[in-house]
């Protein structure tokens, strides 16, 4: 990590641990070097930084182009490896930037659903994650982030913010006779299925209600 990234990462991770009881389960499954896509679920605006804290290396991520026009924020996210993207589509230049990061051995945070899930459940994927992973020849690590949808309501509640890391999905190899688009779609579906499995395995515990008085 570069000095400013190392400082920011450690400061935010310590703050998240103190304020929200943040922890990472399966952190060792994220490769410490080499190109990799880290694929978390997406239910909150807090997901990008929290998913980044689960990764002990610098990570790049996509951010709406409009955010780069906001004073200070645009400068800040650019310093922390944000890549501008136009809403609703990935331009050729953006795709080349993303592939360049991965082929150069970098890590990329990419939400397989493409947008936030309003229901809180893992939704349908967009095939772009499969295409990017296949063209870059990199594995995908599924991540289930639990608790970000309640951060604003429960700042002082400990132990409810956790990132669960799944086993890496190997790089996709597409044969010359295979339907590329279909293989990309299948890989994207596999990624969201793995995240869904993590969400079901580590379902949010149900809090007990007030005890009833004995009669």
Q: Tell me if 9 is assigned to some domain.
A: no
Q: Tell me if 88 is assigned to some domain.
A: no
Q: 171-196, pLDDT tens digit by residue?
A: 988 777 778 889 999 999 999 999 99
Q: 107-165, pLDDT tens digit by residue?
A: 999 988 866 666 566 767 777 899 999 999 999 999 999 888 776 655 555 557 899 99
Number of domains in the chain: 1
Q: Tell me if 65 is assigned to some domain.
A: no
Q: Tell me if 116 is assigned to some domain.
A: yes
Q: Tell me if 145 is assigned to some domain.
A: yes
Q: Tell me if 180 is assigned to some domain.
A: yes
Bridge partners, residue 23, by sequence:
162
Q: Which domain holds residue 50?
A: 20-60+96-201
Q: Tell me if 11 is assigned to some domain.
A: no
Q: Tell me if 5 is assigned to some domain.
A: no
Q: Where are the beta strands (DSSP E) in the chain?
A: 23-25, 36-40, 59-64, 82-85, 107-109, 140-146, 162-165
Rounded Cα distance between 16 and 122, Å, is 24
Q: Are 30 and 54 in contact (CB under 8 A)?
A: yes
Those residues whose C-beta lies under 8 Å from the C-beta of residue 110, and which sit 6 or more positions away, are: 37, 38, 39, 61, 62, 129, 132
Q: Residue 103: what pLDDT?
A: 96
């Amino acid at each position: 990590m570069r000095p400013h990234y190392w400082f920011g990462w450690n400061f935010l991770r310590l703050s998240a641990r103190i304020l929200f009881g943040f922890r990472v389960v399966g952190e060792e499954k994220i490769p410490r070097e080499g190109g990799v896509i880290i694929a978390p679920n997406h239910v909150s605006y807090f997901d990008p930084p929290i998913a980044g804290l689960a990764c002990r290396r610098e990570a790049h991520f996509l951010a709406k182009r409009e955010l780069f026009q906001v004073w200070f924020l645009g400068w800040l996210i650019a310093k922390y490896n944000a890549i501008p993207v136009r809403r609703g589509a990935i331009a050729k230049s953006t795709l080349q930037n993303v592939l360049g990061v991965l082929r150069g051995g970098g890590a990329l945070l990419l939400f397989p659903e493409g947008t936030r899930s309003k229901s809180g459940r893992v939704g349908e994927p967009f095939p772009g994650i499969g295409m990017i992973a296949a063209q870059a020849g990199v594995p995908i690590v599924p991540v289930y982030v639990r608790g970000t949808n309640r951060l604003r309501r429960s700042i002082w509640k400990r132990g409810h913010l956790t990132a669960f890391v799944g086993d890496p999905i190997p790089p996709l190899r597409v044969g010359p006779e295979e339907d590329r688009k279909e293989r990309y779609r299948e890989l994207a579906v596999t990624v969201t299925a793995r995240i869904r499995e993590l969400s079901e395995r580590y379902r949010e515990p149900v809090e007990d209600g007030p005890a009833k008085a004995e009669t």
